[in-house]
Structure 1
Amino acid sequence: MSEVRLSPDELARACAEAMWREDDASKGLGMKILEVSAGQATLSMTVGPHMVNGQRIAHGGFIFTLADSAFAFACNTYNERVVAAQGSITFIRPASLGDFLVARAREVSRNGRSGIYDVRVTAGEVVIAEFRGHSRSISGTWLPEA
Structure 2
Amino acid sequence: MSYADTLGMHVLEATPERTRVTLTVTPGGLNMHGTAHGGLLFSLADEAFAVISNLEAQAVAVETHLSFFRAAREGNELVAVATPERVGRTLATYRVEVRRGEEGEVLALFLGTVARREQRQEAGRS
Q: Same-fold call, TM > 0.5?
A: yes
Aligned with residue 97 of structure 1, among 63, 71, 74 = 74
CA distance in 1, matches of 2:85, 2:64: 14
The percentage of aligned residue pairs carrying the same residue is 32
In the alignment, structure 1 residue 137 sits paired with structure 2 residue 121: no
Structure 1 stretches lacking a partner, 5+ long: 1-22
SS, match of residue 82 in structure 1: strand
In the alignment, structure 1 residue 108 sits paired with structure 2 residue 85: yes
The answer (yes or no) to whether the contact 1:103–1:121 under 8 Å persists in 2 is: yes
- Aligned amino acid, residue 110 of structure 1: V
Partner residue, 1:84: 61
The answer (yes or no) to whether the contact 1:39–1:75 under 8 Å persists in 2 is: no
The answer (yes or no) to whether the contact 2:89–2:117 under 8 Å persists in 1 is: no
Deviation at 1:39, TM superposition (A): 3.9
CA distance in 2, matches of 1:132, 1:72: 12
CA distance in 2, matches of 1:46, 1:31: 8
Structure 2 stretches lacking a partner, 5+ long: none
- Aligned amino acid, residue 114 of structure 2: S
Bigger helix share: 1
The answer (yes or no) to whether the contact 2:23–2:78 under 8 Å persists in 1 is: yes
Cα RMSD for the two superposed structures: 1.8
CA distance in 2, matches of 1:144, 1:93: 46
Segments ≥4 residues shifted beyond 4 Å: 138-141
Q: Write the deviation string for residues 72-112 of structure 1: whole angstroms up to 9, x where unpaired.
A: 1111111x211111111010100001110000000110112
Bigger strand share: 2
The answer (yes or no) to whether the contact 1:40–1:73 under 8 Å persists in 2 is: no
The answer (yes or no) to whether the contact 1:83–1:138 under 8 Å persists in 2 is: no
> How many aligned positions are there?
122
After TM superposition, the structure 1 = structure 2 runs for residues 1-146 of structure 1, keeping only pairs within 5 Å, are: 24-78=2-56, 80-124=57-101, 125-137=104-116, 144=122, 146=125
The answer (yes or no) to whether the contact 1:89–1:131 under 8 Å persists in 2 is: yes
Deviation at 1:140, TM superposition (A): 5.5
Distance of aligned partners of 1:50 and 1:83 in 2 relative to their CA distance in 1, 3 Å threshold: same
> TM-score normalised to the size of structure 2?
0.89
Partner residue, 1:19: none
CA distance in 2, matches of 1:68, 1:144: 28
